[in-house]
């Protein structure tokens, strides 16, 4: 498989995957302007968790490439019209806008951003799977795949166009505000249902893992701590979680991974890749309860470990609202069994 760093060097490779903008939301939610199509320079910087200087410097070095993928600067009457249509309140004489394709282009050029690196890794993983997975020519398979693509397209339209439109209307409407909020809630409910349906189809159509639990865990045991965090993040995405970001390391505030479930609940995850003979203790869980529930205000807290939990640790987890995902559950989750608490 191609290393993610290749995207930094090859424009032709970047051009070949520029349409896969859905990868952005699989790594982290991209907030859009009320028009549901564009973001500002500041919003791009916030998405990639870098300073404005990093983005403006990138624009300076790669302006023509970014313009070809949808970057533009509005001025004069064009800017005035855009402000009126989008509801933006700004006195600036110019406004730089990025399309989703342009944001993806930035991800393939930005070196000093962990979020950008995750986008590149995920992008090439998807491209590799698309090119190597066997083609099923059966009529039934084609029909299911077509239905799934339609569902995904509808979900994208609802989430990126219809919901932002409701947001803009709600902000400017007084008389019908309550009715608009109710309509937006209904649209979001449909969007979540379609997303869950799409995930179920992917699991049904996807290849089943033929490894035994012992073989699966042997592979997991061979991972480094960082690799295990990335592995758990991917399992979360397979269960429909969005905005999944690996934060492990210094400054993680006691939580290795954050994200949201398919229905929008905040998720906080602690990962421990310990030897099978060790155990997670009550003090380990107590620290995580404080970090997950107080610092991160999570609604779903997962303590994922490659070893057992002590009896007292399980009691603390239950009392603190933490789901203890022990070694056997990790094996079952890896084999395609969805984690119930995420549904």
pLDDT at 263: 82
Q: For the domain bounded by 213-342, which CATH number is listed? A: 3.40.1350.10
Q: What is the pLDDT of residue 283?
A: 92
CA gap 169, 165 in Å, rounded: 6
CB 173 within 8 A of CB 166: no
342 three-class SS: helix
CB atoms < 10 A from the CB of 279, how many?
A: 15
Task: Tell me which residue has tokens 């424009």.
Answer: 11
Distance CA 109, CA 68 (A): 14
> H-helix or E-strand containing 311?
helix 311-320
Q: What is the pLDDT along the chain (343 residues), one digit of tens a residue?
A: 456 677 888 888 888 888 888 888 878 888 888 767 788 999 999 999 999 999 999 999 999 999 999 999 988 888 888 777 666 666 778 889 999 999 999 999 999 899 999 888 888 776 555 554 444 444 444 444 444 444 455 555 555 555 566 566 655 556 666 776 677 666 666 665 565 555 455 544 544 444 456 667 777 888 888 888 988 998 898 888 888 888 865 555 678 999 988 888 899 999 999 888 899 999 999 999 988 887 778 899 999 999 999 999 999 999 999 999 999 999 888 877 888 898 8
Q: What is the DSSP letter of 293?
A: I
Q: Which of 150, 109, 104, 151 is nearest to 123 (CA)?
A: 104
Radius of gyration of the chain (CA): 22
Residue 126: both structure tokens together: 């998807």
């Amino acid at each position: 498989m191609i290393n993610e760093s290749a995207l930094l060097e090859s424009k032709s490779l970047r051009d070949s995957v520029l349409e896969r903008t859905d990868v952005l939301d699989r790594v982290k939610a991209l907030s859009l302007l009320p028009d549901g199509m564009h973001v500002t320079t500041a919003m791009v910087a916030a998405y990639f968790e870098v300073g404005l200087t990093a983005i403006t410097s990138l624009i300076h070095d790669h302006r023509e490439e970014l313009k070809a993928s949808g970057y533009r600067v509005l001025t004069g009457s064009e800017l005035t019209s855009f402000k009126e249509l989008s509801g933006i309140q700004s006195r600036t004489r110019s406004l730089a806008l990025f399309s989703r394709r342009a944001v993806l282009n930035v991800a393939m050029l930005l070196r000093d951003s962990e979020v950008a690196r995750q986008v590149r890794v995920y992008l090439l993983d998807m491209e590799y799977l698309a090119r190597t997975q066997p083609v099923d020519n059966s009529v039934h398979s084609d029909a299911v795949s077509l239905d799934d693509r339609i569902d995904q397209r509808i979900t994208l339209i609802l989430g990126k166009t219809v919901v932002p439109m409701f947001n803009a209307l709600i902000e400017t409407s007084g008389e019908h505000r309550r009715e608009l909020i109710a309509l937006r809630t209904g649209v979001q409910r449909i969007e979540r249902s379609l997303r869950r349906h799409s995930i179920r189809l992917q699991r049904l159509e996807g290849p089943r893992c033929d490894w035994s639990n012992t073989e699966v865990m042997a592979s997991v045991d061979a991972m480094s701590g960082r690799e295990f965090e990335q592995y758990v993040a991917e399992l979360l995405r397979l269960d429909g979680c969005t905005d999944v970001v690996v934060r492990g390391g210094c400054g993680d505030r006691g939580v290795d991974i954050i994200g949201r479930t398919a229905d929008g609940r905040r998720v906080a995850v602690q990962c421990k890749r310990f030897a099978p003979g060790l155990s997670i203790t009550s003090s380990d869980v107590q620290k995580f309860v404080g970090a997950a529930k107080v610092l991160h205000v999570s609604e779903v807290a997962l303590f994922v470990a490659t070893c057992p939990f002590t009896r007292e640790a399980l009691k603390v987890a239950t009392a603190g609202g933490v789901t203890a995902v022990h070694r056997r559950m990790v094996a079952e989750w890896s084999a395609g069994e969805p984690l119930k608490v995420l549904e």
